[in-house]
Amino acid sequence: MSDWTPTESAFRQFLIWLDEGVDSDGAKYLEMRRRLVLYFDRKKCLLPDELADETLGRVAQKLQEQGEITNLSPAHYCYVVARFVFLEYLRRVEHSQANLDAIPGASSDPSVQDGSSASQEKLLDRLDRCLERLTAEDRELILKYYEGDGRTKIEARRKLAERLRLSPNALTIRACRIRNKVESCVKTSLSEP
Amino acid sequence: MAFSDNPSADDRTLTKYLLGALPEEEAARLDELSISNDEFAWRLDAAENDLVDAYVRGELSPEDARQFKAFYLSSARRKEKVQLAQGLLEYERRAAATVKAAERSVVTAQSPVMQSPGRGWSMPRFAFQWGFAVASVALLLFGGYLLVQNLQLRRLLNQVQSEQATMSQHAQDLQKQLEQGKTALDEKAKPENAHADKLDQLTTVSLVLPPPTRGASQLPSVFVHPGTDLVVLVLSLEANDFPGYRAKLRDPVTNRTLWQSSKLTAGAGSQGAAISVSFGAGLLKQQNYIVDLQGIPSHGSAEMVGGYPFRVLLQ
């Protein structure tokens, strides 16, 4: 792992470069980090958060050293560096099923949900609280968007998009953002006593 | 960037990707898109949420369910995601059960005959109650109709006023863009006084691009003749969701941004809301391009609206 730590100005330079001229108030950085975590998680890396931070740190370092990076877009460049980080990870770690089984919760046990009603109630309680933190509009959107199954769900989403005067794409993106927010909230609150 | 022209094939590909069932080369291509392409990244998120929901509802095929357990659940993070999906499903079921119980108690409270079965039917009282109920419903419906009419008229008035304001703003934005285009041309070593006062002599070509949909038919093309100064694109919107927008012209081959607009507002096009952008024709070669449109809300970060692909043909 790199020992380089960005200075405040280097980090600010990195954020500006990532924003490509549209000030996102750090949202672009958080989104890029989220995508990198998902990428490393899909590649079955044991510590996807650390690898994502490693990737972003290397990009920021390269940007500071070179002053600018213009041959690739920021998102594309982050992917290229992530790919290198992943290949280094493969060479560094013995990646086997035995290693995955050694990590609590990382096995492919088909019984996902803890059967105890106490943990179920705790999850529902946290979910309820996190949904209450949303605006009424966001709460209604996410509950309506994911309600139902099969064809009824597809039809319901079409009607929801019409009612909210959103394109199907915009509705999908908004629902994903809200769900991500709820997932983070539940995860954080479950880790609290 | 258009993923492909076949949406259901795309969804199936995303599912196979999430289940680790794609060939390595195809998976690597999607790995890249998942980080470098905004639209694809959100589609992948949505596909993953739908896949997880389908699993907890028992809607996956036996093969997909087997692959889900073997591959998808091999990550602690994804197990948490499935637990949340199970929580959302349970939440939905409990909410539905609460609503049904409330409906049953309302029906029970409204039926005096049911409350006193020993007394049997009482016709005059029954007729009076039904008549009262029908009259109440009729009054409610009529009141509702008047309210809806009122709201519609108010909305129409607001819309007309808003359109007038946006058209005025739109005209100012177009003027500004023409001036920016003129500045870009000046920097190409044309004599300074050649076009300084001759904006009306700029040669332009224009193209209307339909709203981005999953199943786009033919790629719109714009013919750029020699001597063309500006290319004007009118980006049609399915809905005018944002107070402001920003457009970027991107080369899909290198993924580089070639041009970016200032903050724009939607105007009224011939078929609904639209955004008008213009840039120097000298930026373009004979190839495909994409205009990425972002919506800028009053608060929070910009959101991707969609990509508008088009082809440039030089003549």
The pairs formed by B92-98 with CB atoms below 8 angstroms and a separation of 24 or more are B92/A143, B92/A146, B92/A147, B94/A124, B95/A143
Looking at the complex, report in whole angstroms how far the Cα of residue B300 sits from the nearest Cα belonging to chain A. Answer: 8
pLDDT at A97 over 70: no
Size of interface A-B (CB pairs under 8 A): 158
Entry pTM: 0.59
| Under 8 Å between Cβ of B274 and B170 | no
b/e B243-259 (16+ beta carbons within 10 angstroms → b): ebbbbbbbbeeebeeeb
Which of B78, B86, B301 lies nearest to residue A25, judging by beta carbons?
B301
Mean pLDDT computed over every residue of chain A: 83
pLDDT in tens, B6-20: 555 588 999 999 999
pLDDT band at A110 (very low <50, low <70, confident <90, very high): very low
What ipTM was predicted for this assembly? Answer: 0.83
Contact B91/A124, CB-based, under 8 Å? yes
Q: B123 falls in which pLDDT band (50, 70, 90)?
A: low
Do A165 and B241 lie within an 8 Å CB cutoff? yes
Q: Between A37 and B272, where is the model more confident?
A: A37
pLDDT for residue B66:
94
Res A166 pLDDT > 50: yes
Q: Is the pLDDT of residue B289 over 70?
A: yes
Closest Cα in chain B to A39:
B31
Which pLDDT score, from 0 to 100, does residue B107 have? 67
- Cross-chain Cβ contact B295/A180 below 8 Å: no
Q: pLDDT at residue B114 above 70?
A: no
Smallest CA–CA distance, residue B145 to chain A, in Å, is 18
Surface of A (87-126) touching B: CB under 8 A:
100, 103-110, 112-114, 120, 123-124
> In a mutagenesis test of the A interface, which of B36, B162, B246, B259 is the best target, namely the one with the most A β-carbons within 10 Å?
B36
Range from A20-29, A157-166, B34-43, B58-67 carrying the lowest mean pLDDT: A20-29
In the sheet that holds B244-251, the strands lie side by side as B221-224, B303-314, B288-296, B244-251, B256-260
Give the pLDDT of residue B217: 55
